[in-house]
């Protein structure tokens, strides 16, 4: 069943780049929703593998599906923003091209809304490369005012992804995704959106199936701290100053520590012994100042301890991190710790694999 209304309740936005191998699976999971009052907008980011042709065929099949083709490869933020520009729904949700909605995603998320709830966070099922499934989601559950939700998001208690959430559309009139960001555009915009919300509700019901691949945990190249600049500048520009100081200052430093840890983890996962990876890890260690580490420990002992370990004993951090991703997600090969590489116990879930870089 589909909805052809000029004003659907929800607009689902699906950015796609070279996703011909799994796009149809994602689309059909949206079309199978128990709540039919939605439109799906696919934004093709100038794919080269037939993704656009497949999207056009699906557009002919489903009356509530619209395809937007970007004239050049612009990145995931630009693709999501193009979907927001075209959205007609009162609510917004996202899906990555290599994942799936569970059938009751929209029904479950809307059931958690209220007149003053602007953002809903759902649970998810993580599918490992061997097909094993595990259920997880945000650590913080319940209903919070926007300021508290912002603090929780900065402390990694609410997930940083866009695809496990339902947003009131008006939130995006004040901020969009940071175009040109190489990493962390999801985390940055979600922290801002939490701060702008009247109330946020977090539930543990799984609504999304997230597929882990090796590419979900690693990059095609070794990242650098500079890759975070655009997203972090965007966050600093749009996040009210009160969330960076005072009673929120430690949470803000926790987020900064987490971003640095995630960059180091991506470099580590790229391979022990790489000069570029070693350089990135060294840069990350320098950026972890002792005052920031102390404040991080005050609000999140795991992130703080991981950051301290990275700064003091990078080889041990690397060894523990590689063991963790192998055990928890079934990816990565066990490697011997090297004095050239850092080590740490990962504080957060793996980065979202959007398929767009």
Task: Tell me the pLDDT band of 274, cut-offs 50, 70 and 90.
Answer: confident
Residue 197 pLDDT more than 80?
yes
112-157, pLDDT tens digit by residue?
999 999 999 999 999 988 888 999 999 999 999 999 999 999 999 9
Burial tier of 72 (Cβ tally within 10 Å: 0-12, 13-18, 19+): exposed
Burial tier of 338 (Cβ tally within 10 Å: 0-12, 13-18, 19+): middle
- What separation, in Å, do the N-terminal and C-terminal C-alpha atoms of the chain show? 34
Task: Tell me the pLDDT band of 4, cut-offs 50, 70 and 90.
Answer: low
Q: What is the pLDDT of residue 344?
A: 31
Percent pLDDT > 90 in the chain is 78
Mean pLDDT of the residues in the chain: 89
| Measured distance CA(346)–CA(160) in Å, rounded | 15
Task: Tell me the pLDDT band of 325, cut-offs 50, 70 and 90.
Answer: confident
Quick one: DSSP state of residue 88? -
Write down the number of H helices and E strands in the chain.
13, 10
40-57, pLDDT tens digit by residue?
999 999 999 999 999 999
131, 49 contact by CB (below 8 A): no
Q: What is the pLDDT of residue 270?
A: 76
| Measured distance CA(303)–CA(308) in Å, rounded | 9
Residue 350 pLDDT more than 50?
no
Q: What is the pLDDT of residue 95?
A: 98
Sign of CA dihedral 75, 76, 81, 82: positive
Task: Tell me the pLDDT band of 357, cut-offs 50, 70 and 90.
Answer: very low
| Measured distance CA(267)–CA(274) in Å, rounded | 9
| Measured distance CA(357)–CA(336) in Å, rounded | 30
| Measured distance CA(70)–CA(212) in Å, rounded | 27
- Residue 17 tokens, joined: 């780049």
Q: What is the pLDDT of residue 27?
A: 98
Phi, psi of 191 (to 5 degrees): -60, -45
């Amino acid at each position: 069943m589909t909805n052809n209304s000029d004003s659907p309740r929800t607009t689902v936005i699906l950015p796609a780049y070279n996703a011909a191998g799994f796009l149809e699976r994602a689309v059909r999971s949206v079309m199978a929703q128990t709540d039919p009052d939605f439109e799906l907008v696919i934004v093709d980011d100038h794919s080269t593998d037939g993704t656009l042709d497949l999207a056009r065929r699906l557009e002919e099949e489903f009356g509530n599906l619209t395809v937007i083709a970007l004239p050049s490869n612009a990145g995931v933020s630009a693709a999501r923003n193009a979907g927001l520009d075209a959205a007609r729904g009162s609510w917004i949700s996202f899906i990555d091209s290599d994942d799936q909605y569970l059938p009751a995603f929209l029904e479950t998320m809307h059931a958690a809304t209220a007149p003053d709830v602007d953002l809903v966070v759902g649970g998810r099922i993580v599918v490992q490369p061997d097909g094993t499934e595990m259920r997880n989601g945000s650590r913080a559950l319940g209903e919070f005012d926007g300021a508290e939700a912002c603090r929780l998001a900065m402390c990694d208690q609410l997930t940083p992804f866009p695809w496990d959430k339902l947003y009131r559309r008006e939130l995006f009139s004040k901020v969009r995704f940071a175009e040109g960001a190489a990493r962390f555009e999801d985390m940055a915009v979600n922290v801002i959106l939490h701060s702008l919300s009247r109330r946020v509700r977090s539930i543990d019901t799984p609504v999304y199936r997230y597929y882990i691949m090796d590419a979900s945990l690693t990059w095609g190249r070794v990242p650098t701290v500079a890759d975070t600049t655009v997203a972090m500048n965007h966050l600093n520009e749009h996040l009210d100053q009160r969330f960076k100081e005072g009673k929120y200052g430690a949470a803000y430093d926790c987020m900064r520590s987490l971003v640095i840890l995630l960059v180091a983890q991506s470099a580590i996962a790229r391979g022990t012994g790489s000069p570029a990876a070693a350089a990135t890890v060294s840069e990350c260690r320098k950026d972890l100042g002792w005052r920031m580490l102390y404040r991080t420990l005050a609000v999140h002992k795991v992130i703080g301890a991981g950051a301290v370990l990275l700064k003091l004993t990078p080889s041990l951090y690397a060894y523990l991190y590689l063991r963790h991703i192998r055990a928890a997600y079934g990816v990565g090969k066990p490697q011997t710790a090297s004095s050239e590489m850092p080590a740490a116990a990962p504080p957060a879930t793996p980065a979202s694999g959007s398929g767009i870089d």
